[in-house]
A and B are shown apart, each in its own frame.
Chain A
Amino acid sequence: MRALTWHGKHDVRVDTVDDPEIVNPRDCIIKVTSTAICGSDLHLYDGYIPTMQAGDILGHEFMGEVVETGPKSTLKKGQRVVVPFTIACGSCYHCGKHQYSACDNGLPADNQDIAQSLYGQPMSGLFGYSHMTGGYAGGQAEYVRVPFSDVGPIVIPDGIDDDKVLFLSDILPTGWQAAEFAQIEPGDTVAVWGCGPVGLFAVQSAFLMGAERVIAIDHFPHRLELAKKFGAETINFEESATYEALMEMTGGIGPDACIDSVGLEAHGFFVDNVLDQIKKSTFLGTDRPHSIRQAILACRKGGRVSMPAVYGGFVDKFPLGAFMEKGLTLKTGQTHVQHYLPGLLNAIVEGKIDTTFLISHRLPLEQAPQGYKMFHDNQNEVTKVVLKPGMTPDAAIAAE
């Protein structure tokens, strides 16, 4: 089959590799119909994520058609499914509590050592995201082997376009969970740092959960414009001072809840020895811890901070004093995708949530390397690239 493979910094290629097969009884194989490039894939592209190996297949946002099933899979050939980016078993203690991203069994035993020494306990596996998260082949390919297919993938009813449901795989539930973690009460003002896909979905979700006002913070004009379309007020942090603006906009109180979704696309696990390298970069560089510091400072007394943004290593100068003195609550974590899928699919089917606005580009899988370059070079206009393995290059030109 053809697949997008990683070979090093700014070097991704579409290669011919072995087709995946059923290995374990609960597996299924899906034929990918749509797969997106995630902001966090850019960290792999930029070479910041350790434990990558040449030839690794990338991609953790994907959906497709079931073409083969293991004896313990509950799926049927021909069903269309969206696959969660977190690989969780469904039968351990954490899965029982719907804490799927904390699954005990998603990672192969040997791959659990690094996470255990770094975080104390290993987390779930992830598709296409380095060997620290399991070394599973990703979804930017024609076919994918999906473990635990009886609990992960959600079946999509006929007649609903891929574009409408693809983001159930990661960024929609991540934005929703971020808003849920902000414990929004009716009448609340919610501030959202970062208007990438998750930030924008968090804006939408916050309103659906009863927020009266949402204030979105970014510096890309196009992304702020999208936030405005959902009814958010905006702060361009290049033009205005964020803390001062938030205080004035809330009558000196501060937002009731703050969501830090800067760099949240980074599902990556940075180890401290690459932090310096990251800090040197301009892309999500030294700003990253800055947003959480600002959120804690701006948040009203007794308020809530939700942090879908991924921090994998250590952060300097965490404002522990402000956090304690003001009695804030901080809630964070990788997304428990499987928990949110049925409800969010329903919201899409009923037309309450529309995520298609995000897609700026559709390309055939063969043009994935160009997709990475485009996304990397122009984050203002390129909000989301969706790869379609079945699309011919001619159709791609026509679509533009």
Chain B
Amino acid sequence: MNHATLDDAPAATAKTGRGATDAASRLIDAQGDQIVARSVTINRPASELYAYFRDFAKLPTFMDNVERIDVIDTTRSHWVVKAPAGRTVEWDARITEERDGELIAWTSEDGADVPNSGRIEFKAAGARGTVVTATILYDPPGGVVGKVIAKLFQREPAIQARRDLRRFKQLMETGEIATAARTRAAHEEEIA
């Protein structure tokens, strides 16, 4: 991240396209040219957050658009993700880098419906807990048109990532995910 200007802002907030390039340079087997990066501070120790996240089968608990993740072996998993109009997209993901309590990086394998790669980092933040940063690179399905459609269906990755991280924070800090549902049936419908 060596830029001529004095700018310490994260690459993903750049007004030019350099964010995706920067992120790709930090990934092994980078895939995708659209970038989503979000940080959230969670009032729990990094080790605890890492441990929860590393158990991929649990991720659909707070990742709203992920229908299911099947763990294949220690580094590979199969993702089934909700897409607009009741469809799903699928891919196999492989962990490319892993540091206990600090970071997990992944890439999708050949044949992915939505080629993607990224990393999630856990940095201790003293009395405030841990800063969790997710950086995701992806190729939108069907190019630009696919992204527009996804936006219409509120499954636009940037919005989704922010909401997913909020839910992760809620789950880790409070033991539950906040809902205004008044009945269990309404809640089931909400999370379906």
Chain A residues in the interface with B (C-beta under 8 A): 18-26, 72, 89-93, 96, 104-113, 125, 134-137, 145, 147-148
Contacts and interface: CB of A to CB of B under 8 A. Distances in A.
B178 A109 contact: yes
Contacts of A113: 159, 162-163
Contact of B173 (A23, A72, A105, A112): A105
Interface in B150-180: 159, 162-164, 166-167, 169-170, 173-180
A26 B174 contact: yes
Contacts of A96: 43
Given A89-B173, A91-B174, A104-B169, A20 B183 contact: yes
**A-B pairs with the 3 shortest C-beta distances?**
A109-B166, A135-B180, A24-B176
A93 B180 contact: no
B26 interface: no
Contact of B179 (A19, A91, A108): A108
A137 B129 contact: no
B187 interface: yes
Interface residues of B, number: 27
Contacts of B169: 92, 104-105
A201 B170 CA distance: 35
B163 A110 contact: yes
A105 B162 CA distance: 14
Contacts of A91: 43, 173-174
A89 B174 contact: yes
A25 B166 CA distance: 19
11 contacts: A21-B182, A89-B173, A93-B41, A105-B169, A105-B173, A109-B166, A110-B163, A112-B163, A136-B180, A147-B178, A147-B179
Nearest to B174: A89
A282 to B, nearest CB: 33
A93 B170 CA distance: 12
Contacts of A145: 182
Nearest to A96: B43
A105 B184 contact: no
A93 B43 CA distance: 6
Given A109-B166, A134-B180, 16 more contacts: A24-B178, A72-B176, A93-B128, A104-B169, A105-B169, A105-B174, A108-B177, A108-B180, A109-B167, A110-B163, A113-B159, A113-B162, A134-B178, A135-B180, A136-B180, A147-B178
B112 interface: no
A91 to B, nearest CB: 5
B1 interface: no
A91 B166 CA distance: 14
Interface string B48-62: 000000000000000
Contacts of A148: 174
A288 B34 CA distance: 46
A49 to B, nearest CB: 16
B28 interface: no
B181 interface: yes
A112 B166 contact: yes
Contacts of A20: 182-183
A91 B178 CA distance: 13
A98 to B, nearest CB: 14
Given A93-B128, A109-B170, A23 B175 contact: no
A73 to B, nearest CB: 11
A181 B162 CA distance: 34
A78 B180 CA distance: 24
B173 A104 contact: yes
Nearest to A106: B178
Contact of B182 (A18, A93, A104): A18
B174 to A, nearest CB: 4
Given A18-B182, A21-B183, A109 B173 contact: no
Contacts of A19: 183
A23 B128 contact: no
Contacts of B164: 109
